[in-house]
Structure formats: C-alpha cells, structure tokens
Amino acid sequence: MAVRARKHIALNFLTLSAKGESRKAFGLYVGQGFKHHNAYYKGDAESLMTAMEENAKANPEKVFDSKCVVEDGDLVAVHSHIKQTPVDLGDAVVHIFRFEGDKIVELWDLGQTVPADSVNENGMF
C-alpha cells in the first residue's frame, strides 16, 4: 500500500470524525479487530466511535487543523490542533494509527491543552 494512501486515510478518518461522521469514518477505514488506547473509553471500535459521535454533537463547530503527517512502516502519526469551538484555544493532539493493508487496526491519541500564556516563544505549532 502506498504511504500517501495511508496518510490520506488517517487524515480523512479524523476529518470525518471531527465533523460528526464517525460511523462513516469507521465503516470506510477501520479493520477487523480494531483496538484503541484512549484511557477514558473501552478499547473497542464501538465505544470510541460512539464517544466521537457524542463529542461532535456537543461541539458542532469543532475545528480540526492538521499540522503534520508522518509515516513509518505500518504507522501514521497526525499532529493537529483541535478546538471544540472556533474561539477555544484547543489542544495539540497526536494520533498514531497502525495499519494492516489499507485498514486502521490500532489507534493511540495523546493531547496537551494549549495554554493561554506560555513561556515557550516557539508556540505549540
């Protein structure tokens, strides 16, 4: 499978999910035996998909802004800025996807809240 295709799949999965179309995203891109590692939900596809749907309903103006996408073998990482509303400072998030062929079979997500004041002159992005 071409690297570019996996990067596109990861980005489209996140874009659809942010827009409230997580069922479509999971249907198109998630493979059998999918598992995730978010500490706040059971590790199966259904629980994460439902949580993503509920978050999108609660935050219909959510902003997903991809900053960088990298690939290494069967892994794709997406660094992004996610805001629940357009005026929210948001979070810096890294999603790491593991693929089997063209299907996502494992997902990790790590996040850090964007502070209102930061001593770092480089910013988070």
Query: Any idea what the CATH number is for the domain that residue 39 is in?
Result: 3.10.450.50
Instruction: With respect to residue 119, please indicate whether it lies within any of the assigned structural domains.
Output: no
Q: How far apart, in whole angstroms, are the C-alpha atoms of residue 45 and residue 41? A: 10
Of residues 63, 61, 71, the one with CA closest to residue 91? 63
Instruction: With respect to residue 125, please indicate whether it lies within any of the assigned structural domains.
Output: no
Instruction: With respect to residue 123, please indicate whether it lies within any of the assigned structural domains.
Output: no
Instruction: With respect to residue 77, please indicate whether it lies within any of the assigned structural domains.
Output: yes
Instruction: With respect to residue 102, please indicate whether it lies within any of the assigned structural domains.
Output: yes
Amino acid at site 32: Q
Instruction: With respect to residue 32, please indicate whether it lies within any of the assigned structural domains.
Output: yes
Q: What is the pLDDT of residue 108?
A: 98
Q: How many domains does the chain have?
A: 1
Q: Report the chain (125 residues): mean pLDDT per 10 consecutive residues.
A: 82 96 97 94 94 94 97 97 96 98 97 94 91
Q: Whole-model pTM?
A: 0.93
Q: What is the pLDDT of residue 3?
A: 56
Q: Residue 78's domain spans which residues?
A: 3-113
Q: What are phi and psi of 102, to 5 degrees?
A: -105, 20
